[in-house]
Every structure is written in structure tokens, then in C-alpha cells.
Amino acid sequence: MSELQLIPIPNIPHIQPGDDLAQVIAAASQQAQLALTDSDIVVIAQKIVSKAENRFVRLAEVKPSAEALALAEITEKPPEQVEVILWDTAEVIRARPGALIVEHKLGFISANAGVDHSNVSSEPDLLLRLPADPDASARRIREGLGQLVGVRPPVLIIDTHGRAWRKGNVGVVIGLNGIAPLQDLRGEPDLFGEPLKYTVVGLTDQIAAAASLLMGQAAEGCPVVIVRGLAFKVDETARAADVLRAKEMDLFR
């Protein structure tokens, strides 16, 4: 690799339910005179995928369950919000004032099952859930780009997660298509010719973190980034869940 480029696609409009993201990305990239290639990687913020798939929830329409009411008392969160979080929760990991950490039904552990209000709407009671199947969303966008512009670059859908042992949120992949998420370097020689024994690189999470620097977390309005110049392995069967550690190998819960 001689040079790595992170290229934001400008002029992505505010996404509405039903919008075709492949069409939006193709049009914006052409307007910016940015020709996509099969060697690029298209990184997309989860928020616009969820918006296009109409994953909105209005709190006024939510009736809290008994479990939600109990957790709301512990976490000091609105019970309607807790109920929405439980819709996407496989297991509650931690509950304390101000925090609800859960295992999402998609398999990863995060705060609030990814349910969020920031960068969603000016309506105070409107929440946004994650895509129901982010891998399928990534596949549809990739196939759509193939039909529209004649190339099928891998697609990553990313979100931000906190970390158990470090402060600060970082970008991680929650959906992907067309790329192997892990780079297994075991057996490769190090600088001194010694074979690596344990090194498996979370390649797509590294890409997500890098793209997040351009996307930002506030009002930057940059939900799509092209990564160019990075070698990767094409994998048509890979899933975002391939990076998740099996519960029996999880030493921290």
C-alpha cells in the first residue's frame, strides 16, 4: 500500500424513509466527479440506513412493559425509551443510573441497543433503531451500486460503540458485504522473522474508526466515506457477526 485515501462524498441529502441509498450514493459521487471502483470500500453511517428503512419510533406510541418499568426505575431513563431498547435486546448485561448495557439481538454488546435520538430529528420524542438486518442492508446497497454504476465495491455499515476498558466512543462495523472483516496474520513473519502467534486484525473495525474521523458525531453531515488504496480480501459470505467473540470465550461477563 503506497497511499490510503479517505474521501467523503459531499452533498448527501437528508435521508427520508423509502429513499434508495444506492441511488443517492451513486448520484452524489457522480456529482462530485468521484468514480467508484471495485477496489474502493464504501463506508456508510448507520443513521442514514435506519432512516431509509423507516426504523423510527415515537415514544408517545410505546406502552412500557413491566420489565421496562423496572429497568427505567434503575437507570433513570424514560420507560418508553427502555421499552424500545428491549425490543432489540437479547440480554441485559448491566443496568445502573444513566446506563443500560445490553446484548443486541444482532449479537454485539452496546449501550441502549443502539437506540438513539442524536442526528435523528428535531422531534424530541422520536427515536431511531438500528437496521433490522445490517448485513442485508449492505448487500442491497452494494447490489444497487452494481446496477447503477457498474461496480460492486464492498459496503460497510458502521455505528459508534463505547468500550469496556477505555473512555470514548469509536466506530465499529455492524453490517457488511463483500469483504472479509478479519485479517489473520498468524504464521506471518515479524520484523525479525519470528512467526506471529496471536495476531488477528479487526480490519473492518479499523476502517470504521478511520471513516468516523470524517463522519464525526455532531453536525458534520458526512454519512458516506470512500476508502481507497487499502488491500482487502473479497468475501461474499462474510457477516459482521464474524468478528464477535463467542460467549464461552468472553472473559469479561
Does the pLDDT value for residue 160 go beyond 60?
yes
Residues paired with residue 156 on neighbouring β-strands, in sequence order: 43, 176
Within 10 Å of residue 35's Cβ, how many Cβ atoms?
A: 10
- The confidence score (pLDDT) of residue 165 equals 85
Q: How confident is the model at residue 96 (pLDDT cuts 50, 70, 90)?
A: very high
- The confidence score (pLDDT) of residue 125 equals 87
Measured in whole angstroms, the distance separating CA 103 from the mean position of its chain's CA atoms is 15
Q: How confident is the model at residue 217 (pLDDT cuts 50, 70, 90)?
A: low
Contact indicator for 132, 55 with CB cutoff of 8 Å: yes
Identify the CATH class of 5-54+131-244: alpha beta
Average the pLDDT over 61-89 and give the result. Answer: 97
Q: State pLDDT tens for residues 185-199.
A: 887 888 888 888 888
Average the pLDDT over 86-107 and give the result. Answer: 96
DSSP 8-class letter at 189: B
Contact indicator for 80, 115 with CB cutoff of 8 Å: no
Residues with Cβ < 8 Å from 249, sequence gap 6 or more?
none
The H or E element containing residue 93 is strand 89-96
Amino acid present at 136: A
Which pTM value belongs to this model? 0.93
57-127: which CATH architecture? Answer: Alpha-Beta Complex (3.90)
- The confidence score (pLDDT) of residue 1 equals 56
Residues paired with residue 7 on neighbouring β-strands, in sequence order: 226
DSSP E strands in 129-181: the ranges are 155-161, 170-177
Q: State pLDDT tens for residues 2-51.
A: 789 999 999 899 999 999 999 999 999 999 999 999 999 999 999 999 99
Q: State pLDDT tens for residues 123-159.
A: 778 999 999 999 999 999 999 999 999 999 999 999 9
- The confidence score (pLDDT) of residue 207 equals 96
Q: State pLDDT tens for residues 47-71.
A: 999 999 999 999 999 999 999 999 9
- The confidence score (pLDDT) of residue 232 equals 94
Report d(CA 131, CA 141) in Å as an integer. 13
Does the pLDDT value for residue 220 go beyond 60?
no
- The confidence score (pLDDT) of residue 45 equals 96
User: How many CA atoms, within 13 angstroms, populate the side-chain half-sphere of residue 51?
Assistant: 19
Domain residue limits, the chain? 5-54+131-244, 57-127
Report d(CA 158, CA 166) in Å as an integer. 19
